[in-house]
Amino acid sequence: MQLHPTFSLTSLLDNDFYKFTMQQGVVKLFPGAKARYAFINRGKHVFPPGFSKALRESVNEMASLKLSREEKLFLQDNCPYLDPVYLDFLEGYRFNPEEVHIEQHGDQLEVHVEGLWYRTILWEVPLMALISELFYKLHHAVRLSDAEVIALTRKKIEGYVRLGVTVAEFGTRRRYAYDVHRLALKALKDHGQGAFIGSSNVHMAMLYQTKPIGTHAHEWFMFHAARYGFKMANAMGLQHWVEVFRGDLGIALSDTYTTEVFFKQFDKMYSKLFDGVRHDSGDALQFADKVINHYHSLGIDPKTKTIIFSDGLNYDKVARIAAYCQDKIGISFGIGTNLTNDVGPEPMNIVIKMTAAHPQDGEWTEVVKLSDEPGKHTGTEQAINLAKTILNIH
C-alpha cells in the first residue's frame, strides 16, 4: 500500500515546542532514564482494515527527518534558552522507528513506544498527528474546502480580536491534516493581528514567522514521581525546570496530581519565580478563583501573573473566561482542535501518555496522571489508587 506523500512528515520541527524544551531538560538531567508510552483511544474510534500497516509505513519514513541548517538558525534566533549543546544534539537526532510498536486487532489499534526518554519524548505528538490524518484519509472523509477553512478560521480569530484576548494555536496532535493546519495558520497570521501570538508547533511557527509557544507537559511531573515519589513530584519538577531554564519558560502546568495538591507545593518562591500557570482540566472559572486566591494568600498581586487556558476551548468558553477574569488576573488562551480540526468530520478523541518510567538508577515504575477531571486520569487502577492514598486525594 503506497501512501500519499503528505503522510510522511516533512520536518523534524513538526512537533509541539514543549517536547523540545523538555528534551533539553532530559538530556541535561536524566540522560540514562527510559520511558514507555501508550496510545489511548478515548473516543472508541473504529480503525479500518490496513490502518496499522499504513501507520507503520508513515512511522518508518520519519527516520529520514533531520534538523536543517535553516531550522537550527530559526531556533538560535528565536529561542535563546535552548543552549548550543542541545541544538547541536538536535542536529544529530534521528527518529528510530524501532522504538514504536504498532498492532491492529480487528478495528482496534495498539501503539506503544519504549526507549531512552531523551529519544522517545519526541514521538507522542507526530504519532497522534499521523494517526489522525490517516484515520480521515482511510475512512474517505470529506472536509470543508480550503476557502471555507480559511474563512471559518478568519471568523474565529476576528472574534478573538474583538474580545481583546491573546490566542496561541495548540492543535498539532489532533489536527485533521497537515494541509488544514497550514490553512489555519495562514488565516490566523493574516487576520489575527493583536490577538494571534504564536503556535505550539515549531515548524508552523517558522513557516508563518510567529513565536513557538510552550513549556512542559504532564510527563515531566509523571517522571519526577517515578524518580522521587508522588509527594516530591511537583516540587522537584518545578525545581529542575528552574535549574534548566533559569527563569525563562515560566508557565507551570498544575494538574498532573490535581490542582489542590499542586498549590500546596507551589509555595511563595515558586509562585514568584514562575510567570503563571496553565489550566488543562476541570472547571475553568473555579480554577481561576483558586489561582487568584492562592496568589492573594501569598501577598502576590494576581494581575502580575498569567493563566494560560488550554482545555477544549471554543469562542463561547473563551468569552466566558475572559469576562470572568477581567481586571483580576492576566489571561491567555491556547486553542487546539477547534482551530485545526473543525472542518466537518468529528474530531478524534485520542491521547498518547507516558505509562511507566525507569530512572537511570531505579526500576520500571508505573506513572499516573490525576487530572482535575476524573475522566482524564491515566494509569492503572492500582497505581491511581496508590497515588490518591499517598497524596490524600479523596
Are residue 99 and residue 175 in the same domain, yes or no? no
Q: What confidence tens digit (pLDDT) does each residue in 314-368 have? A: 999 999 999 999 999 999 999 999 999 999 999 999 999 999 999 998 999 999 9
Are residue 153 and residue 108 in the same domain, yes or no? no
Are residue 162 and residue 223 in the same domain, yes or no? yes
The percent of residues above 90 in pLDDT, for the chain, comes to 95
Domain-embedded: residue 377: no
CATH number at residue 85: 3.20.140.10
CB 146 within 8 A of CB 344: no
Q: Which residues of the chain have pLDDT under 50?
A: 1-6
Domain-embedded: residue 369: no
Long-range contacts: 343-347, Cβ < 8 Å, 24+? 343/143, 343/144, 343/148, 343/149, 343/152, 343/176, 343/180, 344/141, 344/142, 344/143, 344/144, 345/136, 345/139, 345/141, 345/142, 345/143, 345/176, 347/174, 347/176
Domain-embedded: residue 202: yes
Residue 28: Cβ within 10 Å count? 15
Whole-angstrom Cα distance, residue 345 to residue 363? 43
Domain-embedded: residue 382: no
Domain-embedded: residue 19: yes
| SS3 per residue for the chain | CCCCHHHCCCCCCCCEHHHHHHHHHHHHHCCCCEEEEEEECCCCCCCCCCHHHHHHHHHHHHHHCCCCHHHHHHHHHHCCCCCHHHHHHHHHCCCCHHHEEEEEECCEEEEEEEEEHHHHCCCHHHHHHHHHHHHHHHCCCCCCCHHHHHHHHHHHHHHHHHHCCCEEECCCCCCCCHHHHHHHHHHHHHHCCCCEEEECEHHHHHHCCCEECCCCCHHHHHHHHHHHCHHHHHHHHHHHHHHHHCCCCCEEECCCECHHHHHHHCCHHHHHHCCEEEECCCCHHHHHHHHHHHHHHCCCCHHHCEEEECCCCCHHHHHHHHHHHCCCCEEEEEECHHHHCCCCCCCCCCEEEEEEEECCCCCCEECCEECCCHHHCECCHHHHHHHHHHCCCC
Domain-embedded: residue 373: no
Task: Please name which of 176, 132, 169, 142 lies closest in space to residue 42, comparing C-alpha atoms.
Answer: 132
Domain-embedded: residue 374: no
Are residue 240 and residue 300 in the same domain, yes or no? yes
Domain-embedded: residue 208: yes
Are residue 117 and residue 266 in the same domain, yes or no? no
Are residue 159 and residue 181 in the same domain, yes or no? yes
What is the extent of the structural domain holding 29?
5-142+348-362
CB 274 within 8 A of CB 308: no
Whole-angstrom Cα distance, residue 101 to residue 386? 28
Are residue 133 and residue 150 in the same domain, yes or no? no
Are residue 159 and residue 287 in the same domain, yes or no? yes
Are residue 99 and residue 134 in the same domain, yes or no? yes
Are residue 77 and residue 160 in the same domain, yes or no? no
Number of domains in the chain: 2
Q: Give the model's pLDDT for residue 8.
A: 79
Residues near 172 by Cβ (< 8 Å), separated by ≥ 6?
A: 14, 15, 16, 125, 128, 129, 181, 200, 201, 204, 336, 340
Are residue 199 and residue 120 in the same domain, yes or no? no
Are residue 182 and residue 127 in the same domain, yes or no? no
